[in-house]
Structure 1
Amino acid sequence: MELKTLKTFQLIVKYGSFIRAAQEMNYAQSTVTMQMQKLESELGVQLLERGREISLTEAGRLFYEQSLQIVRNMEHLQSSLTDLKSGETGHVRIGATEPTASYRLPGILSTFMSAYPNIRISVEISNTPALSERILKGDIDFSLTTAPNMGTGLYFEPLYQEEFVALMPENHPLARKDVIEPDDLRGSRLLITSSTCPYRRKLEMVMQEKGNVSLDTMEIGSMTALKFYVEKGIGIALVPQIMVEPEKGTVTKPIGGSLVHMTCGILCKESAYPFQLASHKLYQYLKQELEAHP
C-alpha cells in the first residue's frame, strides 16, 4: 500500500470523481482506476460503490477515516526526514570548558537556536581530559576545549586564542607594574586551578622553563571562582581576560612571555570529521562566531 495510492483514494472521496482525482494527481484516469482496484484487492474489501455517483461502502468509510491520520503521519515523517538530511533538525550533544561554556556559548547558542528551532542541543561542561573521554565513548559529538594530548584518536581544529591577564588586589605590590612577567610571580601567593586544568599545566611548564621558579600556591578547584578569592585579597591569579572586569578593589595587568594565551578549538573523533547533518550546521556557526569574535 503506497502513500500516493492513499492520497488518490482520499481525492476520489473528496470530489466524488475518478476524473477529478486523476487531474489533481496528474495521472491518467486508467491509472487511478488500477490503483483503486489494486487497493481493494490488497485489503480484501470493497471501498467504493461505483455508479452514476461514487460513494463509500461501510468498509470504505472506516478505511477513509483511518487513512487521513496515516497520510498526515507519513507526510510529517517525510518532512522530518528531509529536515534531518538537510541539517534543519536533530539532537547535537556538545561539551565545553570554562570560560567558553559560561562567557561565549550562551550568546552564540541563543542566536543559533532561534535560526534553527528544531535542532536540540545538550551542553556538558567539564575539563579537556574528561570531555576527551566522553567524545571517545560516544557520549558527546564534539567539544570546545584546549588541545588534547597527542595520539588520542581525536581531531582538534584550532579556532581562537584564550587571552590571559593577571588579576590582583589593587593594593598588591605588582599592581604598580605595567606588564607582569613570570619571574614577577616569585614571592606572591598564586591562586591556581585543579591539577587536570590545561591552564595550570601550561603555567607550571613556563615556570620550569624559567628555572623552576618557586611559587607560593593555593589550589582553587574552579576557574570561575578565582576572581572572588582575588577580591578578598587572598592572592593573585592568571585568568582568561573574557571573564574579568576589574571591580571591588582589583586590577588586571597584561602578562608577558608565553603565558599570554592558550589555543582553543573544536575537538571530536577523527572518524567524525567532517561533521554531518545538524552537527555540521552547529559546527559551521560556532566556527564562524568564534573566529570572528573570540
Structure 2
Amino acid sequence: MDYKTLKTFQTIVKYGSFVRAAKEMNYVQSTVTMQMQKLESDLGVELIERGNGKEIRLTEAGRLFHDQSLQIVKNMEQLQTNMSNWKLGETGHLRIGVTEPTASYRLPGLLKEFMAEYPKIRISLEIANTPALSERTLRGELDFALCSAPDLGTELYFEPLFKEEFVALLPEHHPLALKAVLSPEDLRPYRLLITSATCPYRRRLEMVMQETGNVALDTMEIGSMTALKFYVESGLGIALIPRIIAETQSGGTTIRSIERSLIDMTFGMVCKASAYPLQWAGQKLYQYFTMHLRERGQSVENLTDFIVNVTKGGEL
C-alpha cells in the first residue's frame, strides 16, 4: 500500500467511477483496476462492490478505509508540498550567527524584508564574536555566520562581503578634533579605549599599532564595542569603532577619518567547507545578504581574489 494507490482509491470514490478516476489521474483504466486489486489483496478485504453498471459502491470496509485514509492522503500531499518548497528554498529553519555591529545596525531591517518575502523560513540568530561563531559553525550548530575572517587552519570557508570602515571617535573638544584626518601615530599620547582581547577588531588594531611603532599605548579595556561610544562621550579616552556605530552618536563626541583606512576589517560569510555552496533556504538567505550587504557596505575590491577557503591556508 503506497500513496499513489491511496490517491487512486480516493479519486475513484470522489468520481464514483474507475473510468473517470483513470482519466483524472492520466492512467489507463487497467492500471487503476490493478491498483485496486492489489490494495484489496494487501488488506484482505473487499473495498469496492463491482456491479454491472459503471458506478461503484463502497463496502462497509471500504467506507471505513475511505474515512480513515482521507487524512493520510492530505498529510502526504502537504508533505510533498513542504518538500518541494524546501528544495526551492521557500521553507526551512536556518541557524545563523552574526557579530556586532552588523547584528544591531544592519541585520534587523534585512531580516524583516527577507522574512516578509519568505514567511515560511524560520530563522534563529546568535550574536557573538568571530571565534565563538566559527567554533559553533565548525561543530554544525550554525548553518553559517556573518563575521570577520576566522583563524587559518580550520575547516571553514570564508567569502568576503564588504569592508567595515573604522573611524576615530573623540570627545567633542579633544585636541585631535582639530585635525580632519588622523594617523595611527596621532593616537600615541592619548588613552585608547579598546575591546576585549578575543575581539578580532582589537587584534587588527594592535597589529596596525605594532606596524607603526605604537606598541606601548595607554589603553583601557571595555568589553563591548557598542558601549565604547558612551565611554568616549564621558571623556575617558578615544576609540576606533565602525563608522556605522559612530554615526549614530548624540552630542558630546566627534568623528574623524583614519589615514589610509588602516584599521578597516573585511566582513563576510563563514560556513563549513563541506557545506559550501549553501543549499535550499540557506542559499536564498545568503544571496539576499550578498546583494544587500555589498550594496550598503564599503565594497571589497577585486572580490574574486579575496574569496578564501581557509582549509587551504588562504589569507586576508
Normalising by the smaller structure, the TM-score range is over 0.9
Q: Tell whether the 8 Å contact from 2:185 to 2:214 is kept in structure 1 after alignment.
A: no
Deviations 1:211-260 (A, max 9, x none): 23432111110001111111222211111001123322111011114534
Deviations 1:12-36 (A, max 9, x none): 2222222222221222333222221
Task: Find the counterpart in structure 2 of residue 57 from structure 1.
Answer: 59
Look up the SS of the partner of 2:85 in the other structure: helix
Q: Tell whether the 8 Å contact from 2:205 to 2:263 is kept in structure 1 after alignment.
A: no
Task: Find the counterpart in structure 2 of residue 18 from structure 1.
Answer: 18
Task: Find the counterpart in structure 1 of residue 29 from structure 2.
Answer: 29
Look up the SS of the partner of 2:270 in the other structure: strand
- Which of 150, 155, 158 is residue 156 of structure 1 equivalent to? 158
Specify the code of the residue in structure 1 equivalent to 2:29: Q
Distance 2:25 2:147 in 1: 54
Identify unmatched segments of 5+ residues in structure 1.
Answer: none
Q: CA deviation at 1:207?
A: 1.4
Deviations 1:58-108 (A, max 9, x none): 111110001110100111111111111222211211111110111111111
Task: Find the counterpart in structure 1 of residue 300 from structure 2.
Answer: none
Distance 1:47 1:91 in 2: 42
Task: Find the counterpart in structure 2 of residue 293 from structure 1.
Answer: 296
Task: Find the counterpart in structure 2 of residue 142 from structure 1.
Answer: 144
- Which of 271, 274, 278 is residue 275 of structure 1 equivalent to? 278
Q: CA deviation at 1:127?
A: 0.8
Identical amino acids, percent of aligned pairs:
69
Distance 2:213 2:244 in 1: 30
Distance 2:174 2:275 in 1: 49
Specify the code of the residue in structure 2 equivalent to 1:47: L
Task: Find the counterpart in structure 2 of residue 222 from structure 1.
Answer: 224
Task: Find the counterpart in structure 1 of residue 308 from structure 2.
Answer: none
Specify the code of the residue in structure 1 equivalent to 2:86: L
Q: Tell whether the 8 Å contact from 1:96 to 1:125 is kept in structure 2 after alignment.
A: yes
Q: Against the structure 1 CA distance between its residues 247 and 19, is the aligned structure 2 distance closer, same or farther, given a 3 Å change threshold?
A: same
Distance 1:28 1:209 in 2: 80
Q: TM-score, normalised by structure 1?
A: 0.95
Q: Tell whether the 8 Å contact from 1:192 to 1:217 is kept in structure 2 after alignment.
A: yes
Q: Against the structure 1 CA distance between its residues 271 and 31, is the aligned structure 2 distance closer, same or farther, given a 3 Å change threshold?
A: closer
Q: CA deviation at 1:276?
A: 1.3
Task: Find the counterpart in structure 1 of residue 3 from structure 2.
Answer: 3
Distance 1:21 1:231 in 2: 77
Distance 2:188 2:36 in 1: 89
Distance 1:155 1:16 in 2: 58
Distance 2:165 2:12 in 1: 69
Specify the code of the residue in structure 1 equivalent to 2:176: L
Specify the code of the residue in structure 2 equivalent to 1:250: T
Moved over 6 A (4+): none
- Which of 175, 178, 182 is residue 180 of structure 1 equivalent to? 182
User: Greater CA deviation, 70-79 or 265-274?
Assistant: 265-274
Q: Against the structure 1 CA distance between its residues 31 and 269, is the aligned structure 2 distance closer, same or farther, given a 3 Å change threshold?
A: closer
Task: Find the counterpart in structure 1 of residue 40 from structure 2.
Answer: 40
Distance 1:94 1:16 in 2: 52
Q: Tell whether the 8 Å contact from 2:146 to 2:267 is kept in structure 1 after alignment.
A: yes
Distance 1:38 1:2 in 2: 11
1:106-145 map, 5 Å: 106-145=108-147
Give the paired residue count: 294
1:89-100 map, 5 Å: 89-100=91-102
1:243-258 map, 5 Å: 243-245=245-247, 246-258=249-261
Q: Tell whether the 8 Å contact from 1:182 to 1:257 is kept in structure 2 after alignment.
A: no
Identify unmatched segments of 5+ residues in structure 2.
Answer: 298-316
User: Greater CA deviation, 25-34 or 183-192?
Assistant: 25-34
Distance 2:8 2:203 in 1: 69
Distance 2:9 2:152 in 1: 62
Q: Tell whether the 8 Å contact from 1:206 to 1:258 is kept in structure 2 after alignment.
A: no
Distance 1:4 1:159 in 2: 47
Q: Tell whether the 8 Å contact from 1:183 to 1:213 is kept in structure 2 after alignment.
A: no
Distance 2:232 2:292 in 1: 31
Look up the SS of the partner of 2:216 in the other structure: coil
